[in-house]
A = this chain, B = another copy of it.
Amino acid sequence: MRDVAIIGAGMIPFGRRDEDTLLEMLSYASLKALDDAGMGDKKVDAVYVGNMGAGILQHQSSIASSLVDRLSLLPAAADVVENGPASGGSALKNGFLAVASGYYDYVLVVGGEKMREVTGWRATDFVATMTHPEVEYPYGITLPGMAGMFTQLYMEKWGVTREHLLAVTLKNQEMGALNPYAHVEMTLSRDGIFDSPDAVVNNPYAASPLHLYDLCPVSDGAAAVILCPLDVAKKRGKACVQIVGFGQATDTHTLQEREDPTDLKAVTLASQQALEMAKLKPSDISVAELHDAFTILEIAESEHVGFFKKGEGGKAAAAGKTRLGGQIPINVSGGLKARGHPVGGTGVAQVVDIVFQLRHELPENRQVKDAKTGLTINFGGFGNNVTCFVLKRIEP
Protein backbone atom coordinates (compact mmCIF):
# COMPACT_ATOMS: atom_id res chain seq x y z
CA MET A 1 0.00 0.00 0.00
CA ARG A 2 1.14 3.51 -0.79
CA ASP A 3 1.16 5.93 2.14
CA VAL A 4 -1.61 8.51 1.82
CA ALA A 5 -1.70 12.11 3.04
CA ILE A 6 -4.40 14.71 3.50
CA ILE A 7 -3.17 17.92 1.92
CA GLY A 8 -6.34 19.97 2.02
CA ALA A 9 -9.31 20.29 4.34
CA GLY A 10 -12.34 22.54 4.45
CA MET A 11 -15.86 22.79 5.73
CA ILE A 12 -18.75 25.19 5.69
CA PRO A 13 -20.63 26.35 8.79
CA PHE A 14 -23.13 23.69 9.81
CA GLY A 15 -26.65 24.65 10.77
CA ARG A 16 -29.78 25.62 8.94
CA ARG A 17 -28.82 26.55 5.38
CA ASP A 18 -32.12 27.11 3.62
CA GLU A 19 -30.43 29.23 0.96
CA ASP A 20 -28.20 26.40 -0.29
CA THR A 21 -29.03 23.25 -2.21
CA LEU A 22 -27.24 20.02 -1.29
CA LEU A 23 -25.03 20.39 -4.35
CA GLU A 24 -24.13 23.95 -3.40
CA MET A 25 -23.07 22.85 0.07
CA LEU A 26 -20.96 20.02 -1.35
CA SER A 27 -19.42 22.45 -3.84
CA TYR A 28 -18.53 25.10 -1.24
CA ALA A 29 -16.85 22.58 1.06
CA SER A 30 -14.99 21.03 -1.90
CA LEU A 31 -13.75 24.40 -3.10
CA LYS A 32 -12.47 25.23 0.39
CA ALA A 33 -10.54 21.95 0.51
CA LEU A 34 -9.18 22.40 -3.03
CA ASP A 35 -8.12 25.93 -2.16
CA ASP A 36 -6.57 24.80 1.13
CA ALA A 37 -4.56 22.17 -0.76
CA GLY A 38 -3.38 24.81 -3.21
CA MET A 39 -4.37 22.52 -6.04
CA GLY A 40 -4.03 25.23 -8.66
CA ASP A 41 -4.22 23.48 -12.00
CA LYS A 42 -3.39 20.04 -10.59
CA LYS A 43 -5.86 17.51 -11.88
CA VAL A 44 -8.26 15.79 -9.48
CA ASP A 45 -8.46 12.13 -10.57
CA ALA A 46 -11.48 11.02 -8.59
CA VAL A 47 -14.24 12.35 -6.36
CA TYR A 48 -15.98 10.47 -3.56
CA VAL A 49 -19.20 11.87 -2.11
CA GLY A 50 -20.42 10.70 1.30
CA ASN A 51 -24.18 11.16 1.46
CA MET A 52 -27.04 9.22 2.98
CA GLY A 53 -30.22 10.94 1.98
CA ALA A 54 -30.22 12.64 -1.44
CA GLY A 55 -32.64 10.03 -2.75
CA ILE A 56 -35.03 10.22 0.20
CA LEU A 57 -34.78 13.92 1.06
CA GLN A 58 -33.99 15.61 -2.26
CA HIS A 59 -35.36 12.98 -4.68
CA GLN A 60 -31.99 13.01 -6.43
CA SER A 61 -29.54 10.31 -7.44
CA SER A 62 -26.14 10.48 -9.15
CA ILE A 63 -25.15 13.61 -7.22
CA ALA A 64 -21.45 12.79 -7.65
CA SER A 65 -21.87 13.15 -11.43
CA SER A 66 -23.53 16.50 -10.92
CA LEU A 67 -20.89 17.71 -8.44
CA VAL A 68 -17.87 16.82 -10.55
CA ASP A 69 -19.35 18.83 -13.42
CA ARG A 70 -20.26 21.79 -11.23
CA LEU A 71 -16.71 21.89 -9.84
CA SER A 72 -15.27 21.74 -13.39
CA LEU A 73 -13.36 18.60 -12.47
CA LEU A 74 -14.48 16.64 -15.58
CA PRO A 75 -13.55 13.96 -16.56
CA ALA A 76 -12.65 12.87 -12.98
CA ALA A 77 -14.28 9.65 -11.80
CA ALA A 78 -17.06 10.23 -9.28
CA ASP A 79 -19.08 7.98 -6.96
CA VAL A 80 -21.46 8.37 -4.03
CA VAL A 81 -20.76 6.17 -0.99
CA GLU A 82 -23.54 5.49 1.49
CA ASN A 83 -23.27 3.94 4.92
CA GLY A 84 -25.95 5.75 6.92
CA PRO A 85 -24.43 8.26 9.38
CA ALA A 86 -21.00 6.74 8.62
CA SER A 87 -21.29 7.63 4.91
CA GLY A 88 -18.54 10.23 5.32
CA GLY A 89 -16.21 7.69 6.89
CA SER A 90 -16.94 5.17 4.15
CA ALA A 91 -16.39 7.76 1.41
CA LEU A 92 -13.02 8.64 2.92
CA LYS A 93 -12.15 4.94 3.22
CA ASN A 94 -12.68 4.40 -0.49
CA GLY A 95 -10.79 7.55 -1.45
CA PHE A 96 -7.97 6.43 0.84
CA LEU A 97 -7.80 2.90 -0.61
CA ALA A 98 -7.98 4.28 -4.16
CA VAL A 99 -4.87 6.41 -3.56
CA ALA A 100 -3.21 3.63 -1.53
CA SER A 101 -3.74 1.24 -4.47
CA GLY A 102 -1.73 3.49 -6.76
CA TYR A 103 -4.58 3.88 -9.25
CA TYR A 104 -5.41 7.52 -8.42
CA ASP A 105 -3.08 10.28 -7.22
CA TYR A 106 -5.32 13.21 -6.30
CA VAL A 107 -8.71 12.45 -4.76
CA LEU A 108 -11.40 14.77 -3.39
CA VAL A 109 -13.59 13.32 -0.65
CA VAL A 110 -16.61 15.39 0.35
CA GLY A 111 -19.46 14.50 2.66
CA GLY A 112 -22.64 16.41 3.25
CA GLU A 113 -26.32 16.37 3.93
CA LYS A 114 -29.28 18.72 3.64
CA MET A 115 -31.68 17.61 6.36
CA ARG A 116 -33.35 20.77 7.60
CA GLU A 117 -35.76 21.04 4.69
CA VAL A 118 -37.78 18.26 6.27
CA THR A 119 -39.11 18.87 9.73
CA GLY A 120 -40.57 17.07 12.71
CA TRP A 121 -41.35 13.40 12.23
CA ARG A 122 -40.04 13.45 8.67
CA ALA A 123 -36.50 14.12 9.86
CA THR A 124 -36.74 11.34 12.45
CA ASP A 125 -38.30 9.06 9.85
CA PHE A 126 -35.47 9.77 7.41
CA VAL A 127 -32.88 8.76 10.01
CA ALA A 128 -34.97 5.67 10.82
CA THR A 129 -34.54 4.39 7.24
CA MET A 130 -31.25 2.94 8.53
CA THR A 131 -33.09 0.64 10.95
CA HIS A 132 -33.85 -2.93 9.90
CA PRO A 133 -36.48 -2.81 7.15
CA GLU A 134 -38.40 -5.81 8.44
CA VAL A 135 -38.00 -6.17 12.18
CA GLU A 136 -37.46 -2.56 13.28
CA TYR A 137 -38.73 0.14 10.93
CA PRO A 138 -42.31 -1.15 10.54
CA TYR A 139 -42.69 -1.10 14.33
CA GLY A 140 -41.82 2.57 14.62
CA ILE A 141 -38.50 2.47 16.47
CA THR A 142 -36.43 5.64 16.01
CA LEU A 143 -32.74 6.25 16.60
CA PRO A 144 -33.38 8.40 19.68
CA GLY A 145 -35.63 5.60 20.97
CA MET A 146 -32.83 3.07 20.51
CA ALA A 147 -30.34 5.40 22.14
CA GLY A 148 -32.66 5.79 25.13
CA MET A 149 -32.86 2.04 25.65
CA PHE A 150 -29.11 1.71 25.15
CA THR A 151 -28.51 4.45 27.73
CA GLN A 152 -30.75 2.74 30.29
CA LEU A 153 -28.83 -0.53 29.89
CA TYR A 154 -25.47 1.22 29.95
CA MET A 155 -26.35 3.10 33.14
CA GLU A 156 -27.47 -0.11 34.82
CA LYS A 157 -24.48 -2.17 33.72
CA TRP A 158 -21.64 0.34 33.76
CA GLY A 159 -22.72 2.89 36.34
CA VAL A 160 -23.02 5.86 34.01
CA THR A 161 -25.05 8.60 35.68
CA ARG A 162 -27.04 11.62 34.60
CA GLU A 163 -24.16 13.79 35.85
CA HIS A 164 -21.73 11.99 33.53
CA LEU A 165 -23.96 12.63 30.53
CA LEU A 166 -24.40 16.24 31.59
CA ALA A 167 -20.62 16.66 31.66
CA VAL A 168 -20.49 15.68 27.98
CA THR A 169 -23.32 18.05 27.11
CA LEU A 170 -21.70 20.99 28.91
CA LYS A 171 -18.22 20.34 27.46
CA ASN A 172 -19.41 19.94 23.89
CA GLN A 173 -21.75 22.92 23.95
CA GLU A 174 -18.97 25.05 25.46
CA MET A 175 -16.49 23.96 22.77
CA GLY A 176 -19.03 24.25 19.97
CA ALA A 177 -19.66 27.86 20.93
CA LEU A 178 -15.99 28.56 20.14
CA ASN A 179 -16.10 26.79 16.75
CA PRO A 180 -17.07 29.06 13.85
CA TYR A 181 -18.33 26.04 11.88
CA ALA A 182 -20.61 24.75 14.64
CA HIS A 183 -24.38 24.54 14.32
CA VAL A 184 -25.21 25.16 17.98
CA GLU A 185 -23.44 28.20 19.34
CA MET A 186 -25.48 28.33 22.52
CA THR A 187 -23.56 27.61 25.72
CA LEU A 188 -25.35 25.85 28.54
CA SER A 189 -24.45 26.10 32.17
CA ARG A 190 -25.01 23.72 35.02
CA ASP A 191 -27.32 26.07 36.86
CA GLY A 192 -28.56 28.54 34.28
CA ILE A 193 -26.71 31.50 35.69
CA PHE A 194 -26.36 34.65 33.58
CA ASP A 195 -27.59 34.24 30.00
CA SER A 196 -26.83 30.55 29.50
CA PRO A 197 -29.95 28.39 29.53
CA ASP A 198 -30.12 25.95 32.37
CA ALA A 199 -28.84 22.53 31.33
CA VAL A 200 -30.76 20.71 34.00
CA VAL A 201 -34.10 22.37 34.59
CA ASN A 202 -35.07 23.38 31.07
CA ASN A 203 -34.13 20.08 29.51
CA PRO A 204 -37.12 17.82 29.04
CA TYR A 205 -36.92 14.12 28.30
CA ALA A 206 -36.46 13.28 24.61
CA ALA A 207 -36.11 9.49 24.96
CA SER A 208 -35.85 8.52 28.61
CA PRO A 209 -33.32 8.54 30.24
CA LEU A 210 -31.95 10.88 27.54
CA HIS A 211 -32.93 14.55 27.69
CA LEU A 212 -33.16 17.00 24.82
CA TYR A 213 -29.62 18.27 25.36
CA ASP A 214 -28.27 14.72 25.17
CA LEU A 215 -29.16 14.64 21.45
CA CYS A 216 -27.36 16.19 18.49
CA PRO A 217 -29.29 18.61 16.28
CA VAL A 218 -30.56 17.95 12.74
CA SER A 219 -28.12 19.89 10.56
CA ASP A 220 -27.27 20.99 7.07
CA GLY A 221 -23.57 20.97 6.27
CA ALA A 222 -20.64 19.62 4.30
CA ALA A 223 -16.91 18.99 4.74
CA ALA A 224 -14.13 17.93 2.37
CA VAL A 225 -10.53 16.75 2.20
CA ILE A 226 -7.96 16.29 -0.58
CA LEU A 227 -5.83 13.14 -0.59
CA CYS A 228 -2.59 12.37 -2.41
CA PRO A 229 0.39 10.03 -2.01
CA LEU A 230 2.50 10.93 1.04
CA ASP A 231 5.70 11.24 -0.96
CA VAL A 232 4.06 13.85 -3.18
CA ALA A 233 2.69 15.67 -0.12
CA LYS A 234 6.12 15.78 1.52
CA LYS A 235 7.58 17.71 -1.41
CA ARG A 236 5.27 20.63 -0.59
CA GLY A 237 7.42 21.75 2.36
CA LYS A 238 4.45 22.17 4.70
CA ALA A 239 3.13 20.14 7.61
CA CYS A 240 0.55 17.64 6.42
CA VAL A 241 -1.45 14.79 7.87
CA GLN A 242 -1.00 11.12 7.06
CA ILE A 243 -3.77 8.54 7.30
CA VAL A 244 -1.76 6.00 9.29
CA GLY A 245 -4.64 3.75 10.29
CA PHE A 246 -8.07 2.75 9.08
CA GLY A 247 -10.55 0.20 10.36
CA GLN A 248 -14.17 -0.68 9.70
CA ALA A 249 -16.37 -3.33 11.25
CA THR A 250 -20.01 -4.33 11.26
CA ASP A 251 -22.27 -5.77 13.95
CA THR A 252 -25.80 -7.19 13.92
CA HIS A 253 -28.12 -4.81 12.11
CA THR A 254 -30.46 -4.76 15.11
CA LEU A 255 -29.51 -3.91 18.66
CA GLN A 256 -31.66 -6.62 20.21
CA GLU A 257 -29.77 -9.45 18.53
CA ARG A 258 -26.54 -8.61 20.36
CA GLU A 259 -25.62 -10.89 23.20
CA ASP A 260 -24.76 -7.80 25.27
CA PRO A 261 -26.40 -4.73 23.75
CA THR A 262 -24.03 -2.47 25.72
CA ASP A 263 -21.04 -4.05 23.95
CA LEU A 264 -20.25 -1.97 20.85
CA LYS A 265 -18.17 -4.67 19.17
CA ALA A 266 -17.88 -2.80 15.87
CA VAL A 267 -16.32 0.20 17.64
CA THR A 268 -13.82 -2.06 19.42
CA LEU A 269 -12.90 -3.90 16.21
CA ALA A 270 -12.70 -0.87 13.94
CA SER A 271 -10.47 1.01 16.37
CA GLN A 272 -8.28 -2.05 17.01
CA GLN A 273 -7.77 -2.46 13.25
CA ALA A 274 -6.92 1.22 12.81
CA LEU A 275 -4.58 1.40 15.80
CA GLU A 276 -2.81 -1.82 14.84
CA MET A 277 -2.27 -0.53 11.32
CA ALA A 278 -0.91 2.70 12.80
CA LYS A 279 1.21 0.76 15.32
CA LEU A 280 -0.18 2.96 18.09
CA LYS A 281 -1.96 2.40 21.39
CA PRO A 282 -5.01 4.39 22.57
CA SER A 283 -2.73 6.23 24.99
CA ASP A 284 -0.62 7.48 22.06
CA ILE A 285 -3.55 9.52 20.68
CA SER A 286 -3.43 13.30 21.21
CA VAL A 287 -7.01 14.18 20.28
CA ALA A 288 -10.17 12.34 19.24
CA GLU A 289 -13.46 13.07 17.53
CA LEU A 290 -16.05 10.53 18.61
CA HIS A 291 -19.57 10.12 17.24
CA ASP A 292 -21.68 11.73 20.00
CA ALA A 293 -25.04 11.75 18.24
CA PHE A 294 -26.17 11.04 21.81
CA THR A 295 -24.03 11.95 24.84
CA ILE A 296 -23.97 8.31 25.96
CA LEU A 297 -22.14 7.41 22.75
CA GLU A 298 -19.18 9.66 23.52
CA ILE A 299 -18.78 7.91 26.86
CA ALA A 300 -19.35 4.40 25.48
CA GLU A 301 -17.01 4.95 22.53
CA SER A 302 -14.28 6.41 24.75
CA GLU A 303 -14.33 3.08 26.60
CA HIS A 304 -14.62 0.83 23.52
CA VAL A 305 -11.74 2.57 21.76
CA GLY A 306 -9.67 1.96 24.88
CA PHE A 307 -9.12 5.50 26.18
CA PHE A 308 -10.73 4.37 29.45
CA LYS A 309 -11.68 1.03 30.99
CA LYS A 310 -15.30 -0.10 30.80
CA GLY A 311 -17.25 1.80 33.41
CA GLU A 312 -14.65 4.57 33.67
CA GLY A 313 -15.66 6.72 30.68
CA GLY A 314 -18.47 8.57 32.44
CA LYS A 315 -16.37 9.33 35.49
CA ALA A 316 -13.53 10.49 33.24
CA ALA A 317 -15.85 12.91 31.44
CA ALA A 318 -17.17 14.26 34.74
CA ALA A 319 -13.59 14.64 36.02
CA GLY A 320 -12.61 16.73 33.00
CA LYS A 321 -10.24 14.14 31.54
CA THR A 322 -11.80 14.55 28.09
CA ARG A 323 -11.64 18.35 28.06
CA LEU A 324 -9.00 20.43 26.33
CA GLY A 325 -5.85 20.00 28.44
CA GLY A 326 -7.14 16.72 29.88
CA GLN A 327 -5.81 13.20 29.46
CA ILE A 328 -7.47 12.75 26.03
CA PRO A 329 -9.38 15.74 24.63
CA ILE A 330 -12.54 14.46 22.94
CA ASN A 331 -14.75 16.46 20.58
CA VAL A 332 -12.88 19.72 20.98
CA SER A 333 -14.86 20.77 17.89
CA GLY A 334 -18.08 20.51 19.88
CA GLY A 335 -18.75 17.08 18.37
CA LEU A 336 -21.99 16.11 16.71
CA LYS A 337 -23.72 17.59 19.77
CA ALA A 338 -22.72 21.16 18.92
CA ARG A 339 -20.90 21.19 15.56
CA GLY A 340 -24.00 19.41 14.29
CA HIS A 341 -24.72 16.18 12.43
CA PRO A 342 -25.47 16.45 8.70
CA VAL A 343 -25.32 12.67 8.54
CA GLY A 344 -23.33 12.09 5.33
CA GLY A 345 -20.96 14.91 6.26
CA THR A 346 -20.00 13.97 9.79
CA GLY A 347 -17.31 11.38 9.06
CA VAL A 348 -15.44 13.85 6.86
CA ALA A 349 -16.00 16.78 9.24
CA GLN A 350 -14.43 14.80 12.10
CA VAL A 351 -11.32 14.26 10.00
CA VAL A 352 -11.24 17.92 8.93
CA ASP A 353 -11.29 18.95 12.61
CA ILE A 354 -8.43 16.55 13.40
CA VAL A 355 -6.46 17.93 10.43
CA PHE A 356 -6.88 21.46 11.84
CA GLN A 357 -5.62 20.16 15.20
CA LEU A 358 -2.64 18.32 13.74
CA ARG A 359 -1.60 21.32 11.67
CA HIS A 360 -1.64 23.37 14.91
CA GLU A 361 -3.67 26.14 13.37
CA LEU A 362 -6.53 26.57 15.82
CA PRO A 363 -6.80 29.41 18.35
CA GLU A 364 -5.37 28.68 21.79
CA ASN A 365 -8.78 28.04 23.39
CA ARG A 366 -9.38 25.15 20.95
CA GLN A 367 -5.89 23.84 20.07
CA VAL A 368 -4.63 20.65 21.66
CA LYS A 369 -1.05 21.64 22.44
CA ASP A 370 1.51 19.93 20.24
CA ALA A 371 -1.07 17.44 18.92
CA LYS A 372 0.70 14.68 17.00
CA THR A 373 -1.96 12.02 16.43
CA GLY A 374 -5.74 11.98 16.15
CA LEU A 375 -8.50 9.38 15.99
CA THR A 376 -12.06 9.50 14.70
CA ILE A 377 -15.04 7.18 15.19
CA ASN A 378 -17.92 7.46 12.71
CA PHE A 379 -20.86 5.36 13.90
CA GLY A 380 -23.29 3.96 11.31
CA GLY A 381 -26.69 2.54 12.18
CA PHE A 382 -26.82 1.92 15.87
CA GLY A 383 -23.23 0.76 15.94
CA ASN A 384 -23.73 -1.77 13.17
CA ASN A 385 -21.19 -0.25 10.76
CA VAL A 386 -18.34 1.77 12.24
CA THR A 387 -15.30 3.39 10.65
CA CYS A 388 -12.17 4.55 12.46
CA PHE A 389 -9.29 6.66 11.18
CA VAL A 390 -5.96 7.29 12.87
CA LEU A 391 -4.19 10.40 11.62
CA LYS A 392 -0.65 11.61 12.24
CA ARG A 393 1.08 14.93 11.83
CA ILE A 394 3.95 14.82 9.35
CA GLU A 395 6.47 17.56 9.97
CA PRO A 396 7.45 19.66 6.97
Which residues of A line the B interface, CB within 8 A?
1-2, 21, 23, 46, 52-56, 58-62, 64-66, 68-70, 73-84, 90, 93-94, 97-98, 100-103, 129-130, 132-134, 137, 246, 248-253, 265-266, 269, 380-381, 384-385
Contacts A53-B55, A64-B385 given; indicate if A82 touches B79 (C-beta within 8 A).
yes
| Contact present for A101 and B97 (CB under 8 Å) | yes
| Contact present for B56 and A56 (CB under 8 Å) | yes
Contacts A80-B82, A133-B60 given; indicate if A250 touches B98 (C-beta within 8 A).
no
| Contact present for A69 and B130 (CB under 8 Å) | no
Contacts A1-B102, A75-B265, A269-B75 given; indicate if A380 touches B65 (C-beta within 8 A).
yes
| Contact present for B60 and A59 (CB under 8 Å) | no
Copies of this chain = 2
| Contact present for A82 and B83 (CB under 8 Å) | no
* Chain B residues whose C-beta falls within 8 Å of the C-beta of A79 in the assembled complex: 81-83, 90, 93-94
| Contact present for A129 and B250 (CB under 8 Å) | no
* Chain B residues whose C-beta falls within 8 Å of the C-beta of A62 in the assembled complex: 52, 82-84, 129-130, 380-381, 384-385
Which of B54, B68, B101, B102 touches A250 (beta carbons < 8 Å)? B68
Contacts A77-B249, A81-B79, A250-B74 given; indicate if A98 touches B94 (C-beta within 8 A).
yes
Bound-complex Cα distance A102 to B97 (A): 9
* Chain B residues whose C-beta falls within 8 Å of the C-beta of A66 in the assembled complex: 132-133, 253
| Contact present for A56 and B53 (CB under 8 Å) | no
Contacts A69-B253, A78-B83 given; indicate if A53 touches B64 (C-beta within 8 A).
no
| Contact present for A77 and B248 (CB under 8 Å) | yes
**Smallest CB–CB gap between A67 and chain B, Å?**
9
- Give me the 5 closest cross-chain CB pairs, A-B, nearest first: A55-B55, A101-B101, A77-B248, A62-B84, A62-B130
Which of B55, B83, B380, B385 touches A129 (beta carbons < 8 Å)? B55
**Smallest CB–CB gap between A30 and chain B, Å?**
14
Bound-complex Cα distance A73 to B68 (A): 34
| Contact present for A250 and B65 (CB under 8 Å) | yes
| Contact present for B56 and A59 (CB under 8 Å) | yes
